[in-house]
């Protein structure tokens, strides 16, 4: 591990992104727009007095899901390009360590994810008066961990795709099941046993659980920290798997 | 006992930058390189020549250490190819330019430089060496094909490697630039850098001090351009090479195939 090479990689990835306005818009603006759409979807719901708005539940979860989806997409394509263009092979002939590359990528996209969730969370709080018990700082923290999870899975999945078309095909396979089963549509304890046990091992489940803890409690709970720690462990595990797909010597 | 490349060129293994012994690569059951034995002298330009599909790129990849080798060995600067200690000393420029199109020329060279702890000054020097100073701040994607391959070259030069492996570096370049690059390569060799340059254009052989002739994964010969034209009975290196291929084909025949593979050279 070499911090300078890692930072050079982070800087390079951010610089590449800087030249790509559309991707920046995808990362920073689109989640806030989608959140706006979610708000207006539930604008006219009839609530019994005192009942929490659906937006406070669904909008909050969206704050974790957007960074996951967007970062998965952006990372898997970027890394695939790196693999197919020959730049990865070239890099692996230099002294750079695999960890420098992966963590360099991870850091660059985490920075973008932090910016993204700052924008989206700010919109949720200030424009749409998101009403939850816990502090917004924790929401941003969970969103960033989720984004890094998207980055890690994207790095890993890129190894199993040959074209950008194939890379995008991982969206319905890797991303959609997690969204379906994370507790957004149906509370997890009301799922049948099979689905619930699958949902128990999907990474996104832990972040939705953590967000529900934040929504319900003014202070950070032990459960929230546990969820965050499990997410962190999963991210590290996936990054290790991704590093195994980076081979200096190939057939 | 096969005649080693060192005997052919009259050099010893000691001064060699690269030494291969029985190097064999089989990819998906297809032999790509067969029992290659040769040495590449240090501080010279060695040309790797052969028709397309003869295994040039695979051989270069084996020397750089990114190719899985089936049997035999390659030693580079005294170490097994691919050793981590070599990563600072061996530069590799792939055939299709491997650079980031969405970065500037400077951004590319500085990034690859950073992998070798080189800074802005060295990056500027490498960009100047390939004559791209005016384009330094342009996005790489906006450059022409020839400029793109020079960016790729600069990304290798910035590391100041002791061994530079170049896969068809002059493809798509106009004659002026090609002459310019060969001049640059000669200057680098004069300063002690070892260069291995592949090409399928035989004219380029004349720029090299030593030639490796490859065909269908076999080393036909290792010789100097002068020897090539003598043995091929033609001052036109292209014709000389064709002659040598013909000769090798006649000599070998189906029954003698194994012996020829062992021998790895042309008499």
Confidence of residue B264 (pLDDT cuts 50, 70, 90): very low
* Co-location of B197 and B108 in the same domain: no
Q: Which residues are CB-contacts of B204 (< 8 A; sequence separation ≥ 6)?
A: B47, B49, B170, B178, B182, B197
Contact (Cβ atoms closer than 8 angstroms) between residue B62 and residue B25: yes
Whether residue B103 and residue A89 make contact (CB cut-off 8 A), yes or no, is no
Q: In what helix (H) or strand (E) does residue B196 lie, and over which residues does it extend?
A: strand B194-199
Looking at beta carbons, which residues of chain A come within 8 Å of B65? 93, 248-249
Task: Report pLDDT for B123.
Answer: 95
In a domain, B261, yes or no: no
Residue B49: beta bridge partners? B199, B213
| A79: Cα within 13 Å, side-chain hemisphere | 33
Residue B199: beta bridge partners? B49
The rounded distance, in Å, linking the Cα atoms of B17 and B212 is: 14
In a domain, B103, yes or no: yes
- The domain boundary, picked from B131, B160, B189, lies at B160
Task: Report pLDDT for B257.
Answer: 45
Question: Is the predicted pLDDT of residue B49 greater than 80, yes or no?
Answer: yes
Task: Report pLDDT for A69.
Answer: 92
In a domain, B120, yes or no: yes
In a domain, B229, yes or no: yes
Write the residue in A4, A5, A250 that is nearest to B66 by C-beta.
Answer: A250
Looking at beta carbons, which residues of chain A come within 8 Å of B27? 251
In a domain, B253, yes or no: no
Strand pairing of B163-166 and B194-199? Answer: parallel
Whether residue B92 and residue A16 make contact (CB cut-off 8 A), yes or no, is no
Question: Is the predicted pLDDT of residue B249 greater than 80, yes or no?
Answer: no
Whether residue B94 and residue A15 make contact (CB cut-off 8 A), yes or no, is no
Confidence of residue B2 (pLDDT cuts 50, 70, 90): very low
What percentage of chain B exceeds 70 in pLDDT? 88
What is the sign of the dihedral through the CA atoms of A241, A167, A161 and A114?
negative
Structural domain count of chain B: 2
The rounded distance, in Å, linking the Cα atoms of A64 and A120 is: 10
Q: In what helix (H) or strand (E) does residue A33 lie, and over which residues does it extend?
A: helix A30-41
Region B185-213 average pLDDT: 90
Whether residue A12 and residue B155 make contact (CB cut-off 8 A), yes or no, is no
- The domain boundary, picked from B107, B125, B160, lies at B160
* Co-location of B35 and B137 in the same domain: no
Confidence of residue B244 (pLDDT cuts 50, 70, 90): confident
The rounded distance, in Å, linking the Cα atoms of B261 and B253 is: 12
pLDDT in tens, B65-88: 999 999 999 999 999 998 989 998
The rounded distance, in Å, linking the Cα atoms of A72 and A67 is: 8
Looking at beta carbons, which residues of chain B come within 8 Å of A10? none
Task: Report pLDDT for B205.
Answer: 86
Whether residue B27 and residue A19 make contact (CB cut-off 8 A), yes or no, is no
Looking at beta carbons, which residues of chain B come within 8 Å of A15? 103, 107
In a domain, B262, yes or no: no
* Co-location of B133 and B148 in the same domain: yes
pLDDT in tens, B100-148: 999 999 999 999 999 999 999 999 999 998 889 999 999 999 998 888 9
Task: Report pLDDT for B262.
Answer: 45
In a domain, B34, yes or no: yes
Instruction: Identify from A3, A94, A100 which residue to disrupt to test chain B contact, counting B C-beta atoms within 10 A and taking the largest count.
Output: A94
Tell me what the pLDDT averaged over chain A comes to: 90
Residue in B45, B17, B46 with CA at minimum distance from that of residue B187: B45
* Co-location of B233 and B146 in the same domain: no
Confidence of residue B263 (pLDDT cuts 50, 70, 90): very low
* Co-location of B42 and B138 in the same domain: no
Opening angle at CA B254, ends B248 and B256, nearest 5: 65
* Co-location of B103 and B81 in the same domain: no
* Co-location of B16 and B81 in the same domain: yes
What is the sign of the dihedral through the CA atoms of B140, B143, B149 and B150?
negative
Out of A191-195, B201-205, B252-256, which region has the weakest mean confidence (pLDDT)? B252-256
Min distance A95 CA to chain B CA atoms (Å): 5
Residue B40: beta bridge partners? B18
* Co-location of B139 and B223 in the same domain: no
Contact (Cβ atoms closer than 8 angstroms) between residue B164 and residue B195: yes
Task: Report pLDDT for B251.
Answer: 65
The ipTM of this complex is: 0.85
Task: Report pLDDT for B1.
Answer: 41
CATH number, domain with residue B82:
3.40.50.300
* Co-location of B85 and B182 in the same domain: yes
Q: What are phi and psi of A74, to 5 degrees?
A: -65, -45
Looking at beta carbons, which residues of chain B come within 8 Å of A91? 112, 115
Q: Which domain holds residue B126?
A: 97-160
* Co-location of B223 and B138 in the same domain: no
Task: Report pLDDT for B17.
Answer: 92
Out of B190-194, B217-221, B254-258, which region has the weakest mean confidence (pLDDT)? B254-258
Residue in A251, A215, A209, A155 with CA at minimum distance from that of residue B28: A251
Whether residue B102 and residue A20 make contact (CB cut-off 8 A), yes or no, is yes
Radius of gyration (Cα) for chain B, nearest Å? 19
SS3 sequence of A23-76: HHHHHHCHHHHHHHHHHHHCCCCCCCCCCCCHHHHHHHHHHHHHHHHHHHHHHH
- Ramachandran quadrant class, B168 (left: phi over 0; alpha: psi -120 to 50; beta: rest): left
Looking at beta carbons, which residues of chain A come within 8 Å of B115? 5, 8, 91, 94-96
The rounded distance, in Å, linking the Cα atoms of B76 and B23 is: 13
Write the residue in A9, A16, A90 that is nearest to B98 by C-beta.
Answer: A90
Contact (Cβ atoms closer than 8 angstroms) between residue B1 and residue B229: no
Question: Is the predicted pLDDT of residue B32 greater than 80, yes or no?
Answer: yes
Question: Is the predicted pLDDT of residue B259 greater than 60, yes or no?
Answer: no
C-alpha distances out from residue A225 to A143, A146, A152, A208, Å: 14, 14, 20, 13
Instruction: Identify from A93, A96, A246 which residue to disrupt to test chain B contact, counting B C-beta atoms within 10 A and taking the largest count.
Output: A93
Interface list for chain B against chain A, based on CB atoms closer than 8 Å: 27-28, 64-68, 82, 84, 87-88, 90, 92, 94, 96, 98-103, 107, 111-112, 114-117, 139, 155, 159
Interface list for chain A against chain B, based on CB atoms closer than 8 Å: 4-5, 8-9, 11-12, 15-16, 19-20, 85-87, 89-96, 248-251
Instruction: Identify from B100, B117, B119 which residue to disrupt to test chain A contact, counting A C-beta atoms within 10 A and taking the largest count.
Output: B100
Looking at beta carbons, which residues of chain A come within 8 Å of B28? 251
Write the residue in A5, A15, A89 that is nearest to B66 by C-beta.
Answer: A89
pLDDT in tens, A56-74: 888 899 888 988 999 999 9
Confidence of residue B15 (pLDDT cuts 50, 70, 90): low
* Co-location of B190 and B155 in the same domain: no
Of the two residues B66 and B6, the one the predictor is more confident about is B66
Would you call B96 helix, strand, or coil by DSSP? coil
Q: What are phi and psi of B24, to 5 degrees?
A: -130, 130
* Co-location of B13 and B124 in the same domain: no
Residues B41-60: b if buried by 16+ CB within 10 A, e if exposed: bbbbbbbbbbeeebbbbbbb
In a domain, B170, yes or no: yes
Min distance A108 CA to chain B CA atoms (Å): 15
Task: Report pLDDT for B146.
Answer: 84
What percentage of chain B exceeds 90 in pLDDT? 55
Region A5-20 average pLDDT: 92
Task: Report pLDDT for B12.
Answer: 38
């Amino acid at each position: 591990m070499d911090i300078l090479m890692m930072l050079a990689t982070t800087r390079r990835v951010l610089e590449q992104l800087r030249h790509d306005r559309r991707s920046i818009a995808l990362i920073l603006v689109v989640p806030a727009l989608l959140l706006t759409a979610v708000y207006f979807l539930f604008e006219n719901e009839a609530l019994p007095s005192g009942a929490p708005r659906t937006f406070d539940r669904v909008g909050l979860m969206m704050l974790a899901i957007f960074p996951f989806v967007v970062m998965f997409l952006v990372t898997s394509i970027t890394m695939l390009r790196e693999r197919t263009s020959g730049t990865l092979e070239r890099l692996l002939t230099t002294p750079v360590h695999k960890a420098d590359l992966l963590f360099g990528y991870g850091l660059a996209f985490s920075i973008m994810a932090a910016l993204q969730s700052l924008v989206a969370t700010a919109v949720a709080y200030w424009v749409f008066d998101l009403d939850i018990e816990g502090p917004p700082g924790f929401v941003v923290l969970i969103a960033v961990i989720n984004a890094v999870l998207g980055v890690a899975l994207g790095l890993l999945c890129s190894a199993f795709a040959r074209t950008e078309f194939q890379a995008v095909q991982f969206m319905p396979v890797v991303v959609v099941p997690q969204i379906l089963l994370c507790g957004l549509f149906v509370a997890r304890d009301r799922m049948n046993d099979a689905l619930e046990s699958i949902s128990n091992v999907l990474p996104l489940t832990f972040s939705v659980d953590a967000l529900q803890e934040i929504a319900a409690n003014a202070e950070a709970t032990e459960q929230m920290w546990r969820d965050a720690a499990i997410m962190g462990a999963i991210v590290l595990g996936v990054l290790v798997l991704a590093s195994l797909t980076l081979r200096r010597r190939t057939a | 006992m096969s005649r080693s490349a060192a005997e052919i060129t009259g050099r010893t293994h000691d001064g060699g930058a690269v030494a291969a012994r029985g190097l064999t690569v089989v990819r998906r059951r297809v032999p790509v390189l067969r029992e290659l034995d040769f040495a590449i002298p240090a501080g010279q330009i060695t040309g790797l020549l052969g028709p397309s599909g003869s295994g040039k790129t695979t051989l270069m990849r084996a020397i750089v250490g990114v190719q899985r080798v089936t049997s035999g060995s390659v030693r580079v600067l005294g170490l097994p190819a691919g050793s981590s200690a070599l990563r600072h000393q061996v530069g590799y420029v792939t055939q299709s330019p491997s650079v980031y199109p969405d970065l500037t020329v400077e951004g590319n060279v500085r990034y690859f430089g950073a992998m070798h702890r080189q800074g802005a000054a060295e990056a500027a020097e490498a960009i100047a060496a390939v004559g791209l100073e005016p384009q330094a701040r342009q996005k790489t994607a906006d450059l022409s094909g020839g400029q793109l391959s020079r960016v790729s070259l600069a990304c290798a030069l910035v590391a100041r490697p002791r061994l530079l492996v170049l896969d068809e570096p002059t493809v798509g370049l106009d004659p002026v630039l090609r002459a310019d690059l060969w001049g640059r390569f000669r200057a680098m060799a004069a300063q002690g850098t070892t260069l291995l340059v592949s090409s399928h254009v035989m004219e380029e052989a004349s720029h090299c001090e030593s030639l490796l002739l490859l065909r269908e994964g076999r080393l036909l010969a290792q010789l100097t351009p002068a020897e090539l034209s003598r043995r091929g009975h033609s001052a036109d290196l292209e014709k000389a090479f064709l002659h040598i291929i013909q000769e090798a084909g006649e000599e070998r025949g189906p029954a003698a195939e194994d012996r020829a593979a062992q021998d790895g050279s042309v008499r």
